[in-house]
Amino acid sequence: MKGALPQMTSGEGKKQITVGVCANADGKLLPPYFLFKGTRPNSWDPLAGAPPKSVAYFTESGWMTQTSFQYWFQNQFVQNIGNERPLVLLLDSHEGHIAYDLFQTAEESNIHLYRFLPNATHFLQPLDVGVFGHMKRSYWDYLRKWVARNPGETITQRNVSRIIGNIWEDLERPGLIRKSFLSSGIFPVNRAAVTDEMTMPSLTFREETTDTECADKVTTNEASPETTVHMPTTPDAQRAVSLHLTKATELPSVKPQTEEG
């Protein structure tokens, strides 16, 4: 469900709404992160009816950016992960998500940012592997019932948080989330789960990375947002994961972006 939700319209036309999802290898799901297009309203609550501890942010496009990702990291991710360290946050390869100062802040907090190989999240990212399909089916099932009960009404920025709130309990399935981490070979680390043939299209566009560059910290928010889990401790496990992950500092530098909060 990371990405645009379908059938989001208002009287003024379509508006982008993104829901960021983050889970860990223990099967726990963080509250959703709502990204709305436009500016924050004063006359209505964008989180009315949303799951507890949800967070909302407004951007010009409605998509994730450096600024909105940093807001999520500081105001939702860090606030919900407790004090146990080290942690690893796995991200997709979108270069606009991470500013270098955020990377430094995370490293100082013993939170290590890694990204998946480009064009490989469909078999490497646990949420893509086994969770998002269930989430989309739950959303569409509820949506059909909602449309039948509310003829003529549309889903807008004003009511989408309540709709997600109504289906969120069905999305919190620890067994399904844990199985997705297992199937992707992320946790427990299983190099055999992802073959060299599967990664060849992505590796074609990736510069060679040495073991030392990916050394002592590797492992699992989605988001899409992306996922967290404790890092493997043995050198063999670290090398196995590093074959498919890239340190976030290798992302191209992107100029800071500013927008509404």
H or E segment and range at residue 167: helix 160-171
Please state the length of the chain: 261
Q: With contact defined as beta carbons under 8 Å apart, do 85 and 111 qualify?
A: yes
Q: What pTM did the predictor assign?
A: 0.73
* 255 in a structural domain: no
Domain hosting residue 154, numbered range:
9-250
Coil vs helix vs strand at 241: helix
The per-residue pLDDT for 245 is: 58
The per-residue pLDDT for 7 is: 42
Give alpha helix (H) positions in 37-125: 66-72, 78-80, 100-108, 121-124
* 119 in a structural domain: yes
Nearest alpha-carbon partner for 225 in 65, 100, 118, 106:
65
H or E segment and range at residue 180: helix 174-183
Q: With contact defined as beta carbons under 8 Å apart, do 8 and 156 qualify?
A: yes
* 257 in a structural domain: no
- pLDDT tens-digit profile, the chain (261 residues): 344 444 444 444 567 788 999 999 999 999 999 999 999 999 999 999 999 999 999 998 888 888 999 999 999 999 999 898 999 998 876 655 678 888 888 989 999 888 877 777 777 788 888 888 898 899 999 999 999 999 988 889 999 999 999 999 988 999 999 999 998 888 888 878 777 777 666 665 554 443 333 323 222 333 344 444 444 444 444 444 444 555 554 443 334 444 556
Rounded (5°) CA angle 36-38-41:
85
* 229 in a structural domain: yes
**Total domain count, the chain:** 1
* 256 in a structural domain: no
Residue 175: φ, ψ to 5°:
-65, -40
* 259 in a structural domain: no
* 89 in a structural domain: yes
The per-residue pLDDT for 99 is: 80
In angstroms, the first-to-last Cα distance of the chain is 22
Q: With contact defined as beta carbons under 8 Å apart, do 99 and 256 qualify?
A: yes
* 1 in a structural domain: no
